[in-house]
Structure 1
Amino acid sequence: MDYPLLSLFWTMLEFFLFILWCFLLFKIITDIFRSHDMGGWGKAGWTVFIIVLPFLGVFVYLIARGNSMATRDLEQAQAADAAFRSYVQDAAGGQGDGTADSHVDDLAKLADLRSSGAISESEFQKAKGKLLA
Structure 2
Amino acid sequence: MNWFNDFWDVIVWFLWIYVVLAYLITIVFVLGDIFRDHSLSGWLKALWVICLVFVPILTVLVYVIARGKGMSERNARGPVTVSEPDDYHPHIYSPSPTDQIAQAQGLLASGSITADEFAALKAKAMA
TM-score for the superposition, normalised by structure 2: 0.58
Q: Which residue of 2 aligns with 1:129?
A: none
Q: Counterpart of 1:64? A: 66
Could you give the per-residue CA deviations for residues 71-116 of structure 1, whole angstroms, max 9, x where no partner exists?
1011225x45x95xx9xxxxxxxxxxxxxxxxxxxxxxxxxxxxxx
Aligned partner of 1:53 in structure 2 is 55
| Unaligned runs of at least 5 residues, structure 2 | 85-127
Aligned amino acid, residue 12 of structure 1: F
Q: Of the candidates 68, 75, 78, which is equivalent to residue 76 of structure 1?
A: 78
Structure with the greater relative contact order (CA < 8 A, sep ≥ 6): 1 or 2?
2
**Map of 1:29 onto structure 2:** 31
> Counterpart in 1 of 2:18?
16
What residue identity is the alignment partner of 1:44?
A
Structure 2 residue identity aligned to 1:48: I
For residue 37 of structure 1, give the secondary structure of its aligned residue in structure 2: coil
Give TM-score, length-normalised by structure 1. Answer: 0.56
Give, in whole Å, the separation in 1 of the partners of 2:61 and 2:76. 22
The secondary structure found in structure 1 opposite 2:39 is coil
Q: Aligned letter for 1:43?
A: K
Tell me how far apart the structure 2 counterparts of residues 27 and 36 of structure 1 sit (CA, whole Å). 16
Mapped to 1, the partners of 2:11 and 2:43 lie a distance apart of 43
Quote how far apart the aligned CAs of 1:51 are. Answer: 1.0
Superposition deviation, residue 34 in structure 1: 0.8
What code does the residue aligned with 2:23 have?
W
Provide runs of 4+ in structure 1 moved above 4 Å: none
Structure number having the greater helix percentage: 1
Q: Distance in 1 between matches of 2:52 and 2:20?
A: 16
Percentage of matched positions with identical amino acids: 27
CA deviation map 1:5-38 (0-9, x unaligned): 0010000110111111100011101110110110
Question: CA RMSD, aligned part only?
Answer: 2.1
Task: Name 1:44's counterpart in structure 2.
Answer: 46
What's the counterpart of residue 114 of structure 1?
none
Q: Secondary structure at the match of 1:36?
A: coil
Residue in 2 aligned with 1:109?
none
